[in-house]
């Protein structure tokens, strides 16, 4: 399968808008892999197969796997045969560890691979998770976890039944500045949180030919801003409050109808939490936004940007500033998930966390479609 990915120009514009560095290497940056892989294999290290060799796998996950201590890149699953030689050459991947989507199930017999990392369009997350679980492999699945809560629950059930761990790629929950906000939700240093604002989005896709849209603009693949960036706002509202929303009211705006047919361009959604706390959330493919803020009884704090790959910046109403560095978010995330497998402990971001978000996503779409307030089921 030849994947319809963003043009380089669109990608650079998107990354710049999202506050992501625009020095995009021709391929994954960094040294060749062989030495690191050998060293890791000598100790306890999880062999990972990347599924879907697109932007995220190429530019973030594969370079991340060059920095991990507890897992290494062992295999690839791709529908694009033309990508295989470069990946094998660069990462020292054996022929036996290369799969297509058709022969992916053979991975069950491969002792080099203990986990698969699914980084495909969103509609493929569930079917590939079920196949990986049936093959006895742990599953690391990108956000949004699935197309809806029912699919997400099926994924959790399948992995539980197969006795494999399922984790969701919410990289920020492994990131130190975000973890500081999660602790503040528990400790409430500025008193009770009264209101949260969580906004994540960027302006992109002006160059897209409406006759040849990328999957992020196609409903059948799980396109639209809510699935893509909206889950950052939603997840952030949940971890910043430390609470689960009980109801949602949502409204969408479309300014480029030729591009956004059956998918949302901008979504505004208000989450109601028990006790009256409210989170005002927004997401967009048409506007740049990257702020997470909590207003409390005795002050406020915020992270802005809060969802970039690095450079998160925190500040508080009494003049504190924080910006804890993490060398590579995805490496931290994958090492955390690998350690959970190696130690047999609960992962930081299990499948159930994705299910909770998908229940809210379902309510957001229902409210935006039909109007009115929706109870989160």
Regarding 10 and contact with ligand NDP (CB under 6 A), the answer is no
Q: Which stretch binds ligand NDP (CB under 6 A): 118-126, 132-140, 285-293, 320-328?
A: 118-126
Minimal distance, residue 23 CB to ligand NDP, in Å: 17
What CA–CA distance (Å, rounded) separates 58 from 5? 12
Q: Which residue is nearest to ligand NDP (CB)?
A: 54
Nearer to ligand NDP, 3 or 12 (CB): 3
Nearer to ligand NDP, 141 or 376 (CB): 141
E-strand stretches of the chain: 46-51, 71-77, 98-99, 115-118, 138-141, 166-168, 193-203, 247-253, 266-272, 278-284, 286-296, 299-303, 314-316, 321-322, 373-375
Regarding 1 and contact with ligand NDP (CB under 6 A), the answer is yes
Minimal distance, residue 76 CB to ligand NDP, in Å: 7
Regarding 215 and contact with ligand NDP (CB under 6 A), the answer is yes
Q: Which stretch binds ligand NDP (CB under 6 A): 90-98, 102-110, 114-122, 347-355?
A: 114-122
For 57: left if phi > 0, alpha if psi spans -120 to 50, otherwise beta; the answer is: alpha
Burial class (CB in 10 A: 0-12, 13-18, 19+), 320: exposed
φ and ψ at 72, to 5 degrees?
-145, 160
Q: Which of 19, 36, 47, 121 binds ligand NDP (CB under 6 A)?
A: 121
Kindly write out the interface string for residues 51-90 of this chain, putting x where it contacts ligand NDP by CB under 6 A and - elsewhere.
Answer: -xxxxxx--------------------xxx--x-------
Binding-site size for ligand NDP (CB under 6 A) equals 25
Axis-axis angle for helices 231-241, 176-187 (nearest 10): 40
Kindly write out the interface string for residues 166-205 of this chain, putting x where it contacts ligand NDP by CB under 6 A and - elsewhere.
Answer: ---x-x----------------------------------
Minimal distance, residue 221 CB to ligand NDP, in Å: 6
What CA–CA distance (Å, rounded) separates 152 from 154? 5
Q: Strand, coil or helix: what is 115? A: strand
Nearer to ligand NDP, 53 or 152 (CB): 53
Minimal distance, residue 25 CB to ligand NDP, in Å: 15
DSSP string for residues in 38-81 = HHHHHSS-EEEEEES-SHHIIIIIHHHHTT-SSEEEEEEE-S-G
Q: Which chain residues interact with ligand NDP by CB under 6 A?
A: 1, 3-5, 52-57, 78-80, 83, 119-122, 124, 142-143, 169, 171, 215, 228
């Amino acid at each position: 399968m030849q994947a319809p990915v963003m043009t380089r120009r669109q990608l650079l514009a998107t990354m710049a808008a999202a506050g992501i560095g625009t020095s995009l290497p021709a391929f994954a940056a960094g040294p060749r892999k062989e030495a690191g892989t050998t060293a890791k294999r000598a100790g306890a290290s999880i062999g990972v197969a990347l599924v879907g060799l697109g932007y995220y796998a190429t530019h973030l996950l594969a370079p991340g796997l060059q920095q991990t201590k507890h897992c290494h890149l062992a295999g690839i699953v791709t529908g694009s045969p033309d990508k295989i030689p470069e990946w094998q050459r660069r990462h020292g991947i054996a022929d036996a560890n290369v799969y297509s989507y058709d022969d992916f199930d053979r991975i069950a017999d491969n002792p080099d691979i203990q986990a698969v990392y699914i980084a495909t369009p969103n509609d493929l997350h569930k079917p590939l998770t079920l196949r990986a679980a049936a093959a006895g492999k742990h599953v690391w699945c990108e956000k949004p976890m699935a197309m809806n809560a029912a699919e997400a629950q099926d994924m959790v059930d399948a992995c539980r039944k197969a006795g494999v761990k399922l984790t969701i790629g919410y990289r920020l929950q492994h990131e130190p500045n975000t973890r500081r906000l999660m602790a503040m939700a528990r400790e409430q240093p500025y008193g009770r949180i009264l209101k949260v604002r969580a906004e994540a989005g960027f302006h992109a896709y002006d160059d897209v030919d409406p006759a040849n849209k990328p999957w992020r603009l196609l409903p059948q693949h799980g396109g639209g801003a809510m699935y893509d960036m909206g889950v950052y706002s939603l997840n952030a509202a949940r971890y910043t409050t430390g609470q689960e929303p009980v109801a949602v009211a949502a409204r969408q705006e479309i300014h480029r109808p030729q591009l956004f047919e059956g998918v949302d361009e901008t979504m505004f959604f208000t989450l109601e939490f028990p006790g009256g706390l409210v989170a005002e959330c927004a997401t967009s493919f048409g506007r740049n936004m990257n702020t997470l803020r909590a207003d409390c009884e005795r002050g406020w704090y915020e992270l802005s940007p809060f969802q970039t790959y690095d450079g998160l910046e925190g500040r508080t109403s009494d003049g504190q500033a924080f910006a804890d560095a993490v060398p590579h978010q995805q490496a931290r995330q994958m090492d955390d998930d690998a350690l959970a497998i190696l130690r047999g402990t609960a992962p930081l971001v299990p499948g159930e966390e994705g299910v909770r978000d998908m229940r809210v996503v379902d309510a957001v779409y229902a409210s935006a479609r039909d109007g009115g307030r929706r109870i989160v089921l």
